[in-house]
Structure 1
Amino acid sequence: MIAKIIKAEIVLVLLIITLSCANSQKGEESKVIKSPQKPNIVFILVDDMGWSDVGCYGAEIETPNIDMLANQGIRFTQFYNTAKCNTTRASLLTGLYHQQTEMSRPKVMKNSVTLGEVLRPAGYRTLVSGKHHGTENLVDRGFDHYYGLRDGCCNFWNPGVKRDGEPAPARKTYRYWCDDDTTYHPFTPENRDFYTTDAFTDKALEWLDEPELEEKPFFLYLAYTAPHFPLQAWPEDIAKYEGVYDEGYNAIREARYKRMVQMGLIDPVKNPLPEWDGDDWNALDDLERRKEIRRMEIYAAMIDRLDQNIGRVLNKLKAQGKLENTLIMFASDNGACPDGSIRAKDKSTRLEDFGTVASYETVGQSWATVQNTPLRKWKAFSHEGGIRTPLIVSWPSVIQDTGGFYNQPGHIIDIMPTLVELIGATYPETVDGKPIPPMQGISLLPAFEGKDLVRTDPIYWEYSEGFAIREGNMKAVRLRRANEKEWELYDFSKDENEINDLANERPEKLESLKKKWKEWNEAVYSR
């Protein structure tokens, strides 16, 4: 895509966009689409959601609004995050690798500018509703509004102290909560119908009615906490999935895989379904099986409620006449979460309390494997199950060859350069007189018209359990706890599920990638 901004005295912006199909292999003649003004931008980030957890990526979960975005846009098949919540959010907001921002600890984005600090000077109203997972209030980092959870996770019904007439929130973990320049600790909602997914949307819809948006385009970062644990959902949403998961882990996994193949999302030759190596469903006792079923019913209900709230935003934009010229992107901050340690510490929760304010359940490793179908590993790992996210891009007035797939790799660090190029914003070289790193990613605008991305540098990962580097179709990856000789090597032109390790067959390529990863790792920590 090519965006040309023509400045007149009244600052009228003309975007001339050449668009071909969403699939880069089709190569059809381009179409010229014109947009009379800068687009509104909505980035929706969900939390700990697996790669196959929405309908348009193979799930049995009802996500009609997310599916609609896919049908009127494009779906990336190889888009990446950083494998963890706070680090992905730092890379999204800054366009840098999280190591460059020092976001892991103490969770402050240093040496950087945020999307708010870049887009607001370009004429945008900048808004954040939801989870930040840092120690800064985002109104201090270029955003006109920030409402939501400053921490990593919370009780969906009540992030604060016990309210009269109801049980105390499970696992008493008081969380920081921001409402513009006011920070609460703890935050205890007075509204008994409070539920974080709904509350984040309520606040965003309130902002979309502000008079400032009559004159300015907006950037809305809608950062949901769902479906991160604790597993908590509205009873009516849970009821929709009664019986859906009774057949167990592998039956659901195989059904998802079949749908993914049928829709053309994956090639079964390059993406074979690995042998099941999780828990034996039939070996569970009756109570534990019923608890496992309920855990996944609640998880599905959380995603269902997410979709309902995304539908509220879409309906609002449509009613305002803004939907056609709104660029909407949808992604997850990491792969499915296998954590079972929390529930293992307290097995006393009654089945009838699952999903309520008094419960604090997680899905565990076996359901996380299902959620990541057919990828290896999970959150915090640098194998594909930890780092690959759905990315849906919808822009009704621009993307007209819709419903297809884009198969080249992208990364969350690419969002900043994409938006900078799109709207003609300026990314600074210094902040407060001190140099900051340049943007680390590339613009994704060519992908919007089905063209090849021009990426000259590899993509890198380093977090917790995993290290990795991808250069073209070759990926080297290892576990942190393994020694350096245990790097694995995969050729993604033939093997996207990381099954056929080529480390012994192509040692020279592996050594080259290891050397580049080490040089990168030393550089990003050298500031």
Structure 2
Amino acid sequence: MKCFLFALLFSLFAIKANEKPNVLLILVDDMGYSDIGCMGSEIPTPHLDSLASNGMLFTQAYNTAKCFSTRASLLSGVYFQQTDKDFTNTNLIAEVLKPQGYTSLWAGKHHASFDPRTRGFDRFYGFLGGAVSFWNPSMVQREGVGKPANIGESPWILDSDEKTLPFTPDKDWYATDAFTDKGIAWLEEYKDDKPFFLYMAYNAPHWPLHAHKEDIDLFKGKYDAGFEAIRAARFKRQMDENILGPSVKELAVPDWNEIWSELSPKEKEQYARRMEIHAAMMKNLDDNIGRLVTKLKEQGRLDNTLIFFLGDNGASPESPDGRVKNFDVNNLSGDETSYPSIRKSWAVTANTPLNLYKSSSFEGGTNTPMIVHWPKGIKKTGTNNHTPVHLVDIMPTLVELGGAEYKASEKIPPMQGVSMTALFKGESINRENPLFFQYAGGSALRDGDYKLVRRNYKKPWELYKVSTDRVEKHNLAKEMPEKVEAMNKAWQQKFKDMTGSSFTDHLKENEQKKKEKAAKIAKRKKK
């Protein structure tokens, strides 16, 4: 009898010890590399800072440099070159976890055309486009408010059976808050013993710069010193607190669009206002993440919830002005009648100390701070981990921890990343293959200490020893031509292996498509 009771107790303990973790995956949009407090920012983000200090902060986490390609790779575990904007020929995380009893929930941005509930997700509340107004995603003018500025209307799926277009919410609706409200409601609804996978795909702080007035007011005057001064202050904090480790010793050469001292007083005022709203959006994001964490604490589920926080690309230099309807360049109110962006020089600042920004294959385009918080599973908390990781590593991590099976096939490629669970234990990982990057003309390959990168396919390759020069300041291409050639061959081969065609053929095909499109447009104009 004693043996039986011991065996029963041991069995129950083993089941508890091997309990599958809940997963909260938080992806934010167009956040700069240094935009949160624990990365050197002046913006207060206490909730994210707490997750980092009680978890693990990864300082060399890579994405794909672009919104839609990052989202496809993040949820599928393969490079974007192996799929497309609708994630075809892939297994999604939700599909892989479903046989293991996971409830999968998604709130926020999608940037694809399919309904997530057809791909393993049980619930979805969000929009299918790439950018929307945070206050009013439609062009419908609401009573008591001016005409909404927008680049167009995206379909929404509001946790119901059908797509909604246009979506004109109530006046007190704000996207970041609404997504969190839905996430919290789901956490309340699904309080059974099943593990959950909650994907919070926030569209903040992507343009348009929209924020609550009371949040914007908190940052009044904070950016009057200008781009260079804010960038220097962020870098000083990064160095003083040894946030980035030995790979960063200096700032990247800035690709300024403007010099602060050369701007007129009016221009300085307007630029400062842009960053005030951006900071307010980041502050609001942090508040909302705090709400999610508080709910998990209240439910007693925080200890066994694996939280990932990361961004989809570097800060954005884009200016969507010409695409916006009802646009007034001088309207920097932060409400639905406005549609500003931070523009290039603030993007350079937001990405301190790295080189360039969104859409670029250089470090400022492909890097995000990544916070991992899991009290039950992270051995040594409060550490900054400088191991290079990639968002394709999240799928194999969850496959391992969820006891799931990833089924590769003739159509579905194998996972491209490696599990990060060893890093959570304070150990190292073994990555056999280099990290691959290609978006538009930009290209890169990171292999161990070295990174091969170019601005576009018409520019020569540049080579950097990023283990000691992450700001990509000292080009070694002329000193190490054999290394450049070897890495170029590896990049070309990887592209061909993933796409089935050479990069040269790919370029020819794209040029042909452009000609055909131009011909169709010309034909329509003649009619």
Q: Normalized against structure 2, the TM-score is what?
A: 0.89
Instruction: Indicate yes or no: 2:476 matched with 1:498.
Output: no
User: Aligned equivalents of 2:324 and 2:239: distance in 1?
Assistant: 39
Match in the other structure for 2:69: 87
Aligned 1:215-234 pairs, distance under 5 A:
215-234=193-212
**Residues in 1 aligned to 2:464 and 2:453: alpha-carbon distance in whole angstroms:** 8
2:249 maps to 1:271: yes
Mapped partners of 1:69, 1:267: distance in 2? 20
Counterpart position of 1:384: 363
Number of the residue aligned with 2:451: 475
Question: Aligned partner of 1:187: which letter?
Answer: F
Tell me the SS of whatever aligns to 1:245. coil
Alpha carbons of 1:448 and 1:230: their partners in 2 closer, same or farther (altered >3 Å)? same
Deviates more, 1:392-401 or 1:349-358: 349-358
The alpha-carbon deviation at position 510 of structure 1 amounts to: 0.7
**Alignment partner, residue 213 of structure 1:** 191
**Over the residues paired in the alignment, what is the CA RMSD in angstroms?**
2.1
Deviates more, 1:512-521 or 1:272-281: 272-281
Residue 437 of structure 2 is matched in structure 1 by 461
Change over 3 Å in CA distance of 1:524–1:268 after alignment to 2: closer
* Structure 1: tracts of 5 or more residues without a match: 1-7, 16-33
Please show how residues 141-152 of structure 1 align to structure 2 within 5 Å.
141-152=119-130
Quote the residue 1:70 is aligned against.
Answer: 52
Match for residue 236 of structure 2 among 231, 240, 258: 258
Q: 2:484 is matched with which residue?
A: 510
Q: For the structure 1 residues 388 and 271, does the alpha-carbon distance in structure 2 shift closer, same or farther, using more than 3 Å as the test?
A: farther
Contact 1:80 1:389 in 2 (8 A): yes
| Paired AA for residue 60 in structure 1 | E
CA shift for structure 1 position 346: 9.3
What secondary structure sits across from 1:214 in the alignment? Answer: coil
Per the TM alignment, residue 336 of structure 1 is displaced from its structure 2 partner at its CA by 0.4
Instruction: State the secondary structure of the residue aligned to 2:100.
Output: coil
Structure 2: state its 5+ residue gaps.
Answer: 1-7, 502-527
Q: Distance in 2 between matches of 1:421 and 1:13?
A: 20
- Give the partner amino acid of 2:453: V
For 1:37 and 1:13, how far apart are their aligned partners in 2?
A: 10
Distance 1:361 1:495, change over 3 A: same
Name the structure 1 match of 2:514: none
Task: Give yes or no for the alignment of 1:446 onto 2:422.
Answer: yes
SS at match of 1:374: coil
**2: CA distance, partners of 1:350 / 1:36:** 56
Q: Which has the larger radius of gyration?
A: 2
Partner of 1:523: 497
1:338-372 per-residue CA deviation (whole Å, 9 max, x = no partner) reads 01352798997375652010111010110000000
Give the secondary-structure state (helix, strand or coil) at the position aligned to 1:200: helix
CA distance in 2, matches of 1:344, 1:218: 39
Q: Return structure 1 stretches of 4+ with deviation > 4 angstroms.
A: 11-15, 343-348, 350-353
Deviations for 1:450-470, whole angstroms, at most 9, x for unmatched residues?
Answer: 211110001100002410001
1:27 matched residue in structure 2: none
| Structure 2 partner of 1:295 | 274
**What is the deviation of 1:270?**
3.5
Structure 2 counterparts to residues 189-208 of structure 1, below 5 A: 189=169, 191-208=170-187
Q: 1:21 maps to what in 2?
A: none
Give the distance between the partners of 1:490 and 1:124, measured in 2 at CA.
42
Bigger helix share: 2
Supply the distance in 2 between the matched residues of 1:496 and 1:276 (Cα, whole angstroms): 14
> Structure 1 residues 172 and 375 mapped into 2: Cα distance closer, same or farther (>3 Å)?
closer
Report the CA distance between 1:407 and its aligned residue: 1.1
CA distance in 1, matches of 2:355, 2:334: 28
Aligned amino acid, residue 494 of structure 2:
W
Report whether the alignment pairs 1:331 with 2:307: no
Q: 1:348 to 1:173 in 2, by over 3 A?
A: closer
Q: 1:513 is matched by which residue type in structure 2?
A: M
Distance 1:168 1:435, change over 3 A: same
Secondary structure (helix, strand or coil) at the match of 2:143 reads: coil
Distance across 2 between alignment mates of 1:300 and 1:389: 17
- What is the distance in 2 between the residues matched to 1:271 and 1:123? 47
**Matching of residue 187 in structure 1 with residue 167 in structure 2:** yes
TM-score scaled to structure 1, two decimals?
0.89
User: Alpha carbons of 1:345 and 1:46: their partners in 2 closer, same or farther (altered >3 Å)?
Assistant: closer
Match runs of 1:101-120 below 5 Å: 101-102=83-84, 107-120=85-98
Residue 19 of structure 1 aligns with which residue?
none
Percent of aligned pairs with the same amino acid: 47
Distance 1:94 1:350 in 2: 39
